[in-house]
Structure formats: C-alpha cells, structure tokens
Chain A
Amino acid sequence: MSVSYENSKIVYQGIKDAGITSLSALPETWLGLLLQHADRDPDMRLIQVAKEEEAIGIAAGAYFAGERHILLMQNHGFLAAMNGIVSLALLYGIPLCMLIALRGHWGEPYPWHTRGGIVTEGVLRALNIPFEYARSPNAVGRQIREAYTLSQSALSPIALLLTRDLMEEAL
C-alpha cells in the first residue's frame, strides 16, 4: 500500500485554507507527503519534534503568541503525548487542533499498529476530546477548518482522525 499523493495534497491545501501558518509534527509514513509540502512552503513554519509530547508545549507557546498552529502526529504519538494533553492543554484551557493518523484500525495489516489503533477512540472519549473521522477528500478541508474553529472557541484539544480511506491509495 502506498500513501495517496493526491489526497495528501488535498489535506495540505485544507490546512492552508484554514489559515494555518505553523505546524508541529513528528514524521510518520502517512504524514510524509503532507510534511514535504509543509517543508517546501515558505509561508509555513514546520517544527519537527523528537517526541509528540513536546508538540503540546510548542502548540501552547504558539497559542500564547497568537499564531494559527496545528499538530500532526500518529495515534501512537497522541498516546505518547498524554500527560501534556491532560496536564497542560486540558488543565489550562489551551486549544489544540490535532490531525492524527489513525494507524492500526480497519484494514491494518501490521500487527504492531493494532493495539494503538484499537484504543485511540476510547482514549479520546475518556478525555472528552471531540473527534471526527476524515474519510473523504471532498470533506477533509471543511473538517480541518471546523476542527480548528472548535479548538479555539472551546479552548480544548480537538482531534481529526485521518483514516486509511483518505491516506492510502485505493486498491
């Protein structure tokens, strides 16, 4: 399976159309093409982290600075960022707009991704983090814009789960 070139471009355009100017990320396969777009874009500040929890702090700093910032990570990175999400973002009312690659879910061939994929939705529900699945290139731009808007009005983490349907080439 390979990552969808077309849909990666559409997702990146959605990020641009939402007025995002700054992005923190830890590269992973499904996000690779997206991050290449960000890396080549002179109007986008891309900050790569060593571990996803750092990005929660960076996003808080960007929010304080008044910058329109989003986070890109794999769902296992979301799990690795947990204490920052709980004890910085939720505790202080810091908005986070998280685009999360949902690995290990429907159709996952790799065993190592599965447990994280299976628990992701349950963890989001436990934390009361609003989330939606992004499955269609036709809707994802609107979903990114709305996720960002809600994060700012609710002062809360929001998750948009990027699914296999969207991120991989159709068979």
Chain B
Amino acid sequence: MLYPELGDKLVVTIMGACAQELYDRGHKENFFYLQHAMGLASSIGLGLALHLPHEKIVVLDGDGSVLMNLGTLATLARYRPRNLVHVIFDNGSLLSTGGFDSHTTSGITDLAAIARGAGVEHVAAVDSVVAFGEAAIEAFARDDLSVIVAKVAAVGPNHYGMDLQLPENAFRFKRWIAGRKP
C-alpha cells in the first residue's frame, strides 16, 4: 500500500521485518536500511529533512526502536521539519529478537500520546489498513511534520538477508541524493 508512494521519497527504515519487507518488495536506490543502531532512523531522517528541504523524507520506524530513543520525538518537534513523515509500526513486540513484549503491548505505553506530548502537532494513531492509508495520504500531502503510529500484528518475513552490503547501501543512497540536487 505504501510502496508505490515511495519511489520519489527518501526512505529510512529500521532493521528487521521493516527493512526486509521493503527490500523484498523491490529495492530502490532511495532506500536506506539502518540494520543496527536502534533508535536512530528518525535522527537520520531529521538530518536529511533539515538539509534537503525540497525532498520528502519517510522514516519507517518501530515501537522497539522508538522506545530506545524517545528524545528524538522532542527533537523532531523542536525543529519541526515540514518534509518529514515518521511512521511508527507498533507491533508491541521485539519481534526480530524473539518476540518479547515491548512496553507498548496491551496499550500500557501510548506512543502517539508521547509524540503529542513531545510537541508534534500532527499525530495519527491508526489500527486498520484503511485508516493507515488515509493517514499516509494526508501526511504525504501535508507540508508539516507528521507522525503516524500504526498498530500492526507481530508477524514478520520468514527469512532475512539482502544482496546489498551495508556501506554499499550508504554510498548508493548518497549518490542518488546527489543526483537529485536541483
């Protein structure tokens, strides 16, 4: 559903299911997979968004990663990049590492409320495919920072691996951006 919209945007994903599922749909040069350093996908997105105001940045994040770097929501709110969409897939689980419950399981911790409390004005909390699609369309069209917290089932791909070395991904991502400079 999201994939066809990502062709002309800079996409940063976290590790695990998020990266693998995007890669399996078909890698594009404008995708960067942060295969470790949990929590920093949104910080990379902020660095991109502030320095490339003419590009749209999409961060595909997860509850486990965001919980490792909650300060990022406050930093995002403070600098409020108008061209950043921060999607947090909340499966309530540390799925890629054995499926342990995260702090968001059973609604104990509400990431959308944390994002609002951090000062993000446009926060959508969705729990269906239709609602997610609507929130994503709005966020992509909006000229302002948007956070979407999407409740998803804790299921992932049955395999992990990419035919793409990590520095190779970084080099090609940077080169793609350089080629876009007006």
The proximity string for A residues 48-70 relative to B, scoring 1 for CB distances below 8 Å and 0 otherwise, is 11110111111111111111010
* Contact present for A65 and B42 (CB under 8 Å): no
Given A65-B47, A91-B36, A92-B170, A54 contacting B75 (CB threshold 8 A): yes
Q: Kindly list chain A residues whose C-beta atoms are within 8 Å of the C-beta of B40.
A: 53-54, 56-57, 60, 84, 88
Output the least CB separation between B86 and chain A (Å): 13
Residue of B nearest to A85 (CB): B37
Main secondary structure of the interface of A (DSSP, over half): helix
Main secondary structure of the interface of B (DSSP, over half): helix
Given A47-B50, A48-B78, A54-B69, A87 contacting B43 (CB threshold 8 A): no
Cβ of B181 under 8 Å from chain A: yes
Q: Kindly list chain A residues whose C-beta atoms are within 8 Å of the C-beta of B38.
A: 83
- Which of B45-94 touch A at CB < 8 Å? 45-52, 69, 71-72, 74-75, 78-79
Interface size on B, residues (CB 8 A): 38
Q: Kindly list chain B residues whose C-beta atoms are within 8 Å of the C-beta of A137.
A: none
- Which of B4-63 touch A at CB < 8 Å? 10, 32, 34-52
* Contact present for A83 and B37 (CB under 8 Å): yes
Given A49-B71, A54-B71, A87-B37, A61 contacting B167 (CB threshold 8 A): no
* Contact present for B48 and A50 (CB under 8 Å): no
- Interface residue from B32, B47, B78, B171 paired with A62 (Cβ < 8 Å): B47
Interface size on A, residues (CB 8 A): 34
* Contact present for B75 and A50 (CB under 8 Å): yes
- Interface residue from A54, A69, A93, A155 paired with B43 (Cβ < 8 Å): A54
B binding-site residues for A, Cβ under 8 Å: 10, 32, 34-52, 69, 71-72, 74-75, 78-79, 166-167, 169-171, 173-174, 177-178, 181
